[in-house]
Amino acid sequence: MLRAQIESFPVAGHFTIARGSRTEARVIRVEIERDGVIGSGECVPYARYGETPEATLQTILDQGPALAAGLDRTGLQATLPPGAARNGLDCAFWALEARLAGRDVAALAGLDWPRTMPTAFTISLDTPDAMAAAAARAAHMPLLKLKLGAAGDVERLAAIRAAVPQARLVIDANEGWQVDELPQLLRACAEVGVELVEQPLPAGEDEPLARIEHVVPICADESVHARAGLEALPGRYDAVNIKLDKTGGLTEALEVAVRARELGLSVMVGCMLSTSLSMLPATLLAGFARWIDLDGPLLLAGDRPGGLAYHDGLLDRSAATLWGL
């Protein structure tokens, strides 16, 4: 039996990136039930990729007859393309398989699944002073992820570094920088000790990255979704941000992580704005990752019951009951 529905979670304060602001996270919760056992998953349709909650929900529900006829997680990979719909179903299948087998989901995946891990904390795009103040309030976090990609980014970087002189910093430009300004912006990042710059140029317009000096490592996000796009990254990028809503679930995400390592790419594990039900499957990728960015629930006014615990930037799944056990 398949069930799915759209759910909304208000954002705490505001969440702003180069493409706009959001006041709520709209997610789709998916449940697959077999023999009285339920496996759950969550996905986030993303407008940047042409997805809407309504169309994604319908795509998921359309798989009901196939599931009733025996569709499993392996068959799902050929049935739907990478994207949010497949992610919701794939993660529900993983949880269902684990519960039917009475095994920890990490054992099924053959992974060491740490119970705690540090995560980045996102600072939304704002004025230099406002971002500096937000960074100062979060200075106790192990890693700050700064949303940039608008005029005034050099000033933002300077103000933030002055406010948090010891903080580790990574940048997400969300495709918001221009080629002609890229060398100056990368130098500004290097001067303040930024560890990583994520997706500075628009996807499809990133060929110039192969011709400039990477004074700071550059990470692909929108430029790659799944395994099919990985081979084009070396030379342009130094790292890849793996998100389950892009890969279409944990199944392909694990394959992306393995192949990225073979290609010499560092890995960031990232997320969309969503609840612990989205974060928990992504934590299985922690062993591959140099940077973990799974702070989605921290940006919401409230998380799901049974979710992750966060303590000063440390993600703790010890008491989570939503997924995987």
Residues involved in catalysis? 147, 243
For residues 277 and 307, the answer to whether their CB atoms sit within 8 Å is yes
Other beta carbons within 10 angstroms of residue 203's beta carbon come to 16
Convert 281-295 to b/e letters by CB count within 10 Å (16 or more is b). Answer: bbbbbbebbebbbbb
| DSSP 8-state assignment for residue 48 | G
C-beta of residue 280 within 8 angstroms of C-beta of residue 297: no
The DSSP H or E segment spanning 29 is: strand 20-34
Burial class, 212, CB count within 10 angstroms (exposed 0-12 / middle 13-18 / buried 19+): middle
Helices and strands (DSSP H and E) totals, the chain: 11, 14
